[in-house]
Structure 1
Amino acid sequence: MPSIEEMDPINIAILKEQKQSHLEYNFVVWANEDASKIIGVTFDKIKDKKVENRHLLLYLVKKLTASGLPIILVEHNFFKKDIKVIDANKDRTNKYSVSTDELEELILRKFEISNTSSDRENMKSVNKDEKVQDLFHVWSRETFGTKIKKIDIDCLLFKDYVMATIEVKNTKIGGLSIESWQPFNSDQVNYKIAALFSENFLSCDFITLHYQRKSKENTSTNSEDIDIGLWPYNPDFMQFRSKNNWKKTTLSQVINHYIKKDDL
């Protein structure tokens, strides 16, 4: 998880205004090669990094393990090959050390990934703007190659239960405006995985929020001042990326739609 200096305005606003929704670890959903099945989830964090919002983590672990989905928690310093794991389906109190080979074997077995040589030639390169930039993410991508697909959950809205998972997209200064941006065809599989996971395992909405970085200075991190394009997911991708499915709004209106709706 990036430091607050590296976080985007949407995540900073959620941290300030909806602390119960703040993710303090990397939340990665794994799917099989053709993205037709969710095969597991990993939560990982850098060793010694505190997790203060443990209620959300505990909720997610309990919810997902109750569904039978394999869950692995990873605490690591990959530079020093210092890796500890919790097999959440087996014993959530047992944290133990593993080597990278043992971690690979654990993931292969729990997520039922075929133990054949990886096809790495067509692997997606690591996007330096991705939220998940730690070495566990890099290692797992290099180790399992195209045998699996992975997406990270950028952020979510939570109050007693998860109300929505959110994909955050942004265009840099001088890039596409909120009015002109549309979801990219090349990301179609990632959207499918996030939607499949959100619906089948969290029973919640999946939405995409796009914003444009207007300047380097004086960037507002108050939700009422963050203009966004809202894209609710539709399994028909052409309809999903159609402007008929788009709405210009603010982050505060999105938060209020979910949080205040639950209070009624």
Structure 2
Amino acid sequence: MTALLNYIYSSFKRDKNKNVFISDPPGPAILLWTNNQTHPNLTGISVVKELNLDYQNQNQHISHNLITTIANEIKTNTSIPFLEIEYDFLNDILIINGTRYNVSNGGNIIANTFNLTISNTPTKAVNNSQSVTDMFHIWSRSFFSGTAVRKIDTDLVVVDIIDNTLSSFVEIKRSDRVNFNSWQPFSNDLSNYEMMFALSDALNIPFYTIHHNDVNNKIIDANKLVNVFTYDPNSPVNWGTFRSLQNRQQLTAQDIVNSL
């Protein structure tokens, strides 16, 4: 995880009211799906994780425990199809909403549920490798059409653990290549942001892009400034307004934790 994600995780770990789901393959990760015809609206949302994963860090364990809340909120408050997916490519297994399939059949279930196009030469499985942390991403890029299917992950979802609701979700951008005070969401990421806006609208929760330039430390300093760009659900904010510097706040890492 990045320095800011580590800081947010460690801060919420002590919070009695809220917790955070952080996508961390091969542990649980939230994926948003759509196709070219439906974009920017979403055709599916999934939580994906490796089957029988021995969680190596507490973040993955915490995120696993929040899956039920996230799934219930999506199913209750949106009409977007939802799948919980577990994979074991070495043994040709996909488990989807508790039902076991081989990888090819499971891929067809995902395609049919989310209205996705399968590649002309789909890959049945990928080999497990300690050097690959996100085997589902590698498999899905080959199994589904690279030109007709769009898939992105969400970095972080804030969960209110008192009333079991979702408070907000966040994309983290780490870069020191652009002057900190001049950084803006990149124009060529418009398609991904539109999918994020669609999720914000569907769940009626705010979406934040948070940029920081700490690329060297394991955890960011609480007083270090970060750039925050906010999208409020079902607002008239367009892409140009969202990424403008007028929509940017510069807050300390601690301030952003307090505001999520």
Residue deviations 1:3-58, cap 9 Å, x none?
Answer: xxxx1012212221113213351110102214132111121112332453344211
- Is 1:86 the equivalent of 2:96? yes
- Go from structure 1 to structure 2 and tell me whether the alpha carbon gap of 1:15 and 1:247 turns closer, same or farther (over 3 Å shift): same
Query: Which stretch has the larger CA shift, 43-52 or 157-166?
Result: 43-52
Unaligned runs of 5+ in 1: 1-6, 88-94, 119-131, 259-264
CA–CA separation in structure 1 for the residues paired with 2:193 and 2:51: 30
Going from structure 1 to structure 2, the CA distance change for 1:12 and 1:250 (only over 3 Å counts) comes to same
Kept after mapping to 1: 8 A contact 2:35/2:115: no
* Relative contact order, higher structure (CA 8 A, sep 6+): 2
Match of 1:52 in 2: 61
The residue type equivalent to 1:44 in the other structure is V
Q: TM-score, normalised by structure 2?
A: 0.77
Aligned to 1:195: 197
Map Cα deviations across residues 98-156 of structure 1 (whole Å, 9 max, x no partner). 222112210121112346748xxxxxxxxxxxxx9511112112222222211110112
After TM superposition, the structure 1 = structure 2 runs for residues 110-129 of structure 1, keeping only pairs within 5 Å, are 110-114=113-117, 117=120
Q: Mean Cα displacement is larger for which, 46-55 or 135-144?
A: 46-55
Q: 2:126 corresponds to which residue?
A: none
Distance across 1 between alignment mates of 2:92 and 2:9: 29
Q: Is the 8 A contact 2:171 2:209 kept in 1?
A: yes
1:84-103 deviation digits (Å, cap 9, x = unpaired): 3232xxxxxxx333222112
Residue 156 of structure 1 corresponds to: 157
Any residues of structure 2 matched to 1:9-158 within 5 Å, and which? Answer: 9-19=3-13, 20-23=19-22, 24-34=27-37, 35-49=39-53, 50=55, 52-53=61-62, 54-66=64-76, 67-78=78-89, 80-87=90-97, 95-114=98-117, 117=120, 134-144=134-144, 145-158=146-159
CA distance in 2, matches of 1:48, 1:116: 28
Question: Where does residue 213 of structure 1 map in the other structure?
Answer: 214
Which secondary structure state, in structure 2, belongs to the residue aligned with residue 179 of structure 1? helix
| Structure 1 residues 173-221: Cα deviation after superposition (integer angstroms, max 9, x where no partner) | xx22321211111000100101111221x2100110000025x3x5544
Q: Give 1:22's aligned amino acid.
A: F
CA distance in structure 1 between the partners assigned to 2:86 and 2:154 by the alignment? 18
Task: Say if 1:157 and 1:255, in contact at 8 Å, map to a contact too.
Answer: no
Instruction: Give, as a single letter, the amino acid of the residue that structure 2 aligns with 1:140.
Output: S
Residues of 2 paired with 1:46 and 1:75: CA distance?
5
Q: Confirm or deny: 8 A CA contact 1:84 1:98 kept in the other structure.
A: yes
How many pairs are equivalent? 225
SS in 2 for 1:183: coil
Work out the CA distance in 2 between the residues paired with 1:207 and 1:171.
16
Runs of 4+ in 1 over 6 A off after TM superposition: none
Does the Cα contact within 8 Å between 2:119 and 2:143 map onto a contact in 1? no
Question: Secondary structure at 1:68's aligned position in 2?
Answer: coil
